[in-house]
Amino acid sequence: MRRSLLSSPIEIAIAIAAGVSCLLVMSVASIPTASKCIDGEREVLLKFKQTIHGKLSSWDSHNDCCDWKGVGCDNFTGHVVKIDLSGMYLSTKVRHTSIPFIELSYLKYLDLSSNYNLLENQTISSLMENNNNSNSNSNSNSMVSLQHLSLSQIGIIGSIPENFGNRLPALTHLDLSMNGLEGSIPEIFGNNMPALAHLYLWGNSLEGAIPHSLFNVSALYLAWNKFTDLNSLCDIRAAAALRILDISFNQLSGTLPDCWSNLPSLAFLNLANNHNLSGSLPTSIGLLASLEGLHLDHNNFTGTLPSSMENCSSLVVLHLGHNKLLGPIPDWVGENLTPLTVLVLGSNHFNASVPTSLCRLRSLQLLDLSVNHISGTLPDCLANLTGMTVHEPHPNATISYGGVSQGDAIDIVWKGRVIQLQTTLGLIKSIDLSSNMLSGEIPTEITSLDGLVSLNLSRNNLRGPIPPRIDNLSNLETLDLSHNHLSGSIPRSLSLIHRMSFLNVSNNNLSGKIPDGTQLHSFDASTYTGNLGLCGDPLPNSCRREPTHPNIEEADKFFCHDFYASMGVGYAVGFLGVIVNMLFIGSYRFAYFKLLDDFANWAYVVAAIHKAKFVRILGG
């Protein structure tokens, strides 16, 4: 009988293992390694290089285009999927040239931003026409894979054509900011790109109404344009998914529409610096429960804060400065808006006192109530603002909203001038209560906020001394206490704040000498002017010459030292004379006790003389 080829289990197992190994080897061999650039796509890139000036020396026809600077390829297919030439100072050699990248049908990412003269004075329409007239085999949907398109700051002008998005069905990110675009946005613009999530059109000259189709994106940046109408917000039929809306620095006017319930997912709203927006704040803003950042500053809003805003309990940044809002600051600001990190209500008409409820804002890092009509005393509970201590740093310098990274910006008075904080906003801890009608003393509790970088209490009616433990504010860089009624001397502890580079205590009732040998002398004389009783460097008026006598304790030591030294010397001399005379002259023995009496009288006289000297020293 013929023996089976695989007669035992061991042989069968070995055969199976060998077969599996063979299949694995064949499978691995069939997987392509990093493929080289496809010839046709290399030619498209080289055609682009021929039309521009710039740093593209690596774009050599003899090299694999997947290794060229700014070019990325798919590791398996070799197709060009990414081109990033941003900030390379590219410019065109030929006017009205096209961008041939539209022929790269697998391209997913294209960034040509910050090449200021790349497409100077060309319109979007002309680019599309040139591309359509090219000799390529492209069709109207040749960029169906493109997801990210950034053409910011490349010099394009003209209007946005209605068919712009027809060839970009997969686009999620579009940046046309900082160009010369003008005219209105086509009503169907947003509908042409159903996947669009982030749209940047800021820094152009676009005008007219804002199409309601744009509210379907997640982040919409329209700042620095000429838009005049926001009423299309009320035309939204379905709840939009918009998270970020920035229409600041435009020409919006009139009252705000009262239909903010159409944007229930809104996390950041910026309508600042429109100047002609007026009227009361609409109550529907209180329906934005997801709102984390609200900027309505630099407008003409009037009236009181609507009570519905207490429902905006997710707010992190609230900036209502530079309006005409009035009334007391509501208690619900501190009671309900507890996540607040930035609260700016400055340059309005708020009155009454600083509500103690604000002390509940333990995350607060920037408080600005300046230029209002706030009166009363500073609350002692300011020490509860633990977000302004060194133990509570903000995790990030910038602040994000709703999971979307968003660089926020706030104007503050810094070292006597207005600056804008943006990249460092989350790192600044500041209190500005200047230009109000606050009275009473500066509470010592404020010195527990040792993370403060800026403190401005100027132009109020504060009285009393500068807190003696002011040096607890060791991180302070700018301190302004000017134009108050503070009295007493400048505490030497103020000189222990080594980071302080701006100080202003002018126009108070301070007196005495500016502490010697400290950094306080390095400030300009204007820091101290307007304090009639203040003297010493750097002020021109020197202090009245004072005697250099020591203090009471030092004078007492001086008196005792002289007295006992004189008494010791006198006693030694007298005692030596007595001993010698007693040894050699017998009659002197009888005068011994008389000598002791004379010595006692002498010691008393010496003591009286030194006591009189001591009194004269103290009397100056």
User: Can you give the residue ranges of every domain in the chain?
Assistant: 316-546, 552-619
Calpha distance 523→500 (Å, rounded)? 10
Consecutive 10-residue runs of the chain (620 residues): their mean pLDDT?
51 55 45 70 92 88 92 95 94 73 92 89 74 43 86 94 87 96 91 92 96 91 96 83 95 95 95 95 96 97 98 97 98 98 97 97 96 97 93 57 61 69 68 98 97 97 97 96 98 94 97 89 95 94 65 40 44 45 47 51 56 52
Sequence-distant (≥ 6) Cβ neighbours of residue 527 within 8 angstroms: 503, 504, 505, 506, 538
**247 class by beta-carbon count within 10 Å (0-12 exposed, 13-18 middle, 19+ buried):** buried
pLDDT at 55: 81
Q: How many CA atoms lie within 13 A of 582 on its CB side?
A: 12
Q: Which fold, 316-546?
A: 3.80.10
Burial string for 568-600 (b: 16+ CB within 10 Å, else e) reads eeeeeebeeebeebeeeeeebeeeeeebeeebe
pLDDT at 425: 58
Number of H helices, E strands in the chain: 7, 36
- Side chain identity at 72, as an amino acid letter? G
User: What is the pTM assigned to this prediction?
Assistant: 0.80
pLDDT at 394: 52
Burial string for 133-164 (b: 16+ CB within 10 Å, else e) reads eeebebeeebbebbbbbbbbbbbbbbbbbeeb
pLDDT at 227: 96
pLDDT at 11: 59
User: Is 199 in a helix, a strand, or coil?
Assistant: strand
pLDDT at 201: 97
**111 class by beta-carbon count within 10 Å (0-12 exposed, 13-18 middle, 19+ buried):** buried
**117 class by beta-carbon count within 10 Å (0-12 exposed, 13-18 middle, 19+ buried):** middle
* Count of CB atoms situated within 10 Å of the CB of 368: 24
**Which residue is it, tokens 């906003």?**
425
